[in-house]
Amino acid sequence: MKTVHIKSFGCQMNVYDGQRMADILSQQGYKETASPEGADLVLLNTCHIRDRAVQKVYTELGKLRELKIAQKANGQHTKIVVAGCVAQAEGAEIQRRQPAVDLVVGPQAYHRLPELLAQTGRVVDTDLPADDKFGYLPAPTRKAIAARGISAFVTVQEGCDKFCAFCVVPYTRGAEFSRPVAQIMAEIERLAAAGVQDVTLIGQNVNAYHGEGPDGTVWGLAQLMGRVAEVPGIGRIRYTTSHPRDMGDDLIAAHRDLPQLMPFLHLPVQAGSDRILAAMNRKHTAHEYRRLIDRVRLARPDIALSSDFIVGFPGESHADFENTIALVDEIGFASSYSFKYSPRPGTPAADLGEQVAPELMHERLLRLQERIEHHRQAFNHAMVGRTVDILLERAGRHAGQLAGKTPYLQAVQIETQAHRIGDTVRVVIERAGSNSLFGRLAELPAPANKELAA
Ligand code: 5AD
Ligand code: SF4
């Protein structure tokens, strides 16, 4: 049997794509292995979002070249494949810089992997074709689903039409595309039948979802999630990543009306200054974002919010940055990601003057991260004493412990001998550590419905 090692970088869509590539390669007789050593095929599923992510790929390829040479000395021919967004954005450059690479395959060509691997010589396939790759990718086997656990990602939308001035996604993942409802439902029903209880619907701009419905009309994300909630066994639904402009009334209402939709929303704002938001081509102001959050909180008062931030976008002044800090302190995000601006070739912002000095960017990032961390800790500590339902997802840190997530996406460790992975248990949160919560089983068993306790 041939073996493949897949290493994914970057976002959750890459994790999902990595699994789908494993599924298609499994049909070709490849078994997945945890280590590149000894593998017949090593596949890097790459990220192009910031320069640092790209540099990681070339470093990794340097190591794989050594491995390939060493394995060749042992009579094994190792194939190196580069997939993902770096493959899409700089396929020719990869081939030039690292001759050990056998195949470069872009995110829209994964369904062609078997034929591409069968070709000899060095191959590049980075077309962005209109045909629907999802229709050609095989469904995972029951065994593969079970091995991946009870939480799953499902891509429902890909690409982006928003063209934020800093972002490569519209170029690497192409125009916005929504999978048809029936195709998504078939996939989720299959996952649920194999034991998945928790699904996260993913897309680069997932709340812009507008797929073909079974009735021939166009369905939005809220309507799609309503249907997903009807699948027996699916107790928890989440979605990511969203754009503030696409946060429609029906989606906000779903946070009030759909019990399976978890009270967590990742809604990147990027910056708190209107001048910078305009320069970023975000198409919303800080005020509009604040009012949107008010409306979401009205629909679901306990919702946990998270965001992405970029510091040091070209032209960002001290006053602009202070507006970002003010917004962070006002909203009180449960968690957030923050990045230094990284100029990306081909994006409009890369050509702007007024790039912010690296030391200044560094200083701002540290200050922002201190505020983000402060609010994260506050959110976690506010959980102490509360009773919540925890879906047990994996073994805990120590023997006799199981780990799961709160509805607010916080990791929890629980002492229990009486339960198994897949059980939902009612837990009293006793302590908040720096990265997880610790809880004990509540006296009463969890009720059949998955609503939160007070
Ligand atoms: N520089 C820094 N951060 C970026 N992001 C996207 N493009 C860039 C860039 N050029 C961040 C945004 C986005 C997240 C996925 O990555 O905050 O929401
Ligand atoms: Fe990276 Fe964005 Fe591509 Fe995901 S979509 S792999 S985050 S560049």
Between the CA of 58 and the centroid of ligand 2 the distance, in Å, is 16
Atom of ligand 2 nearest to the CA of 168: 8
The pLDDT assigned to 443 comes to: 76
Residue boundaries of the structural domains of the chain: 2-125, 139-262, 267-381, 387-453
Instruction: Name the residue of 166, 172, 241, 266 to mutate for ligand 2: max ligand atoms within 8 A of Cβ.
Output: 172
Between the CA of 271 and the centroid of ligand 2 the distance, in Å, is 20
Between the CA of 345 and the centroid of ligand 1 the distance, in Å, is 13
Judge if 139-262 and 267-381 fold alike in CATH terms: yes
Ligand nearest to the CA of 306: 1
The CATH number of the structural domain formed by 267-381 is 3.30.750.200
The pLDDT assigned to 99 comes to: 94
Instruction: Name the residue of 267, 308, 341 to mutate for ligand 1: max ligand atoms within 8 A of Cβ.
Output: 308
Q: Which CATH superfamily is domain 2-125 in?
A: Methylthiotransferase, N-terminal domain (3.40.50.12160)
Between the CA of 10 and the centroid of ligand 2 the distance, in Å, is 6
Between the CA of 413 and the centroid of ligand 2 the distance, in Å, is 31
Does the C-beta of 310 come closer than 6 Å to ligand 1?
yes
Between the CA of 166 and the centroid of ligand 1 the distance, in Å, is 7
Does the C-beta of 113 come closer than 6 Å to ligand 1?
no
Does the C-beta of 344 come closer than 6 Å to ligand 1?
yes
pTM of the model: 0.92
Atom of ligand 2 nearest to the CA of 46: 6
Atom of ligand 1 nearest to the CA of 270: 17
Between the CA of 401 and the centroid of ligand 1 the distance, in Å, is 36
Between the CA of 276 and the centroid of ligand 2 the distance, in Å, is 23
Between the CA of 168 and the centroid of ligand 1 the distance, in Å, is 9
Does the C-beta of 336 come closer than 6 Å to ligand 1?
no
Does the C-beta of 12 come closer than 6 Å to ligand 1?
no
The CATH number of the structural domain formed by 387-453 is 2.40.50.140
Does the C-beta of 339 come closer than 6 Å to ligand 1?
yes
Does the C-beta of 166 come closer than 6 Å to ligand 1?
yes
Which of 447, 429, 364, 408 lies closest to 236 in space, CA to CA?
Answer: 408
The per-residue pLDDT string of the chain (454 residues; one tens digit each, 9 = 90 and over) reads 899 999 999 999 999 999 999 999 999 999 999 999 999 999 999 999 999 999 999 999 999 999 999 999 999 999 999 999 999 999 999 999 999 999 999 999 999 999 999 998 888 888 877 677 888 888 899 999 988 999 999 999 999 999 999 999 999 999 999 999 999 999 999 999 999 999 999 999 999 999 999 999 999 999 999 999 999 999 999 999 999 999 999 999 999 999 999 999 999 999 999 999 999 999 999 999 999 999 999 999 999 999 999 999 999 999 999 999 999 999 999 999 999 999 999 999 999 888 999 999 999 999 999 999 999 999 999 999 999 999 999 999 888 899 999 999 999 999 988 899 999 999 999 999 999 999 999 975 555 544 544 4
- Residue closest by Cα to atom 1 of ligand 2: 47
Atom of ligand 2 nearest to the CA of 14: 6
Atom of ligand 2 nearest to the CA of 107: 3
Q: Which CATH architecture has domain 139-262?
A: 2-Layer Sandwich (3.30)
Place of tokens 């997530």: 405
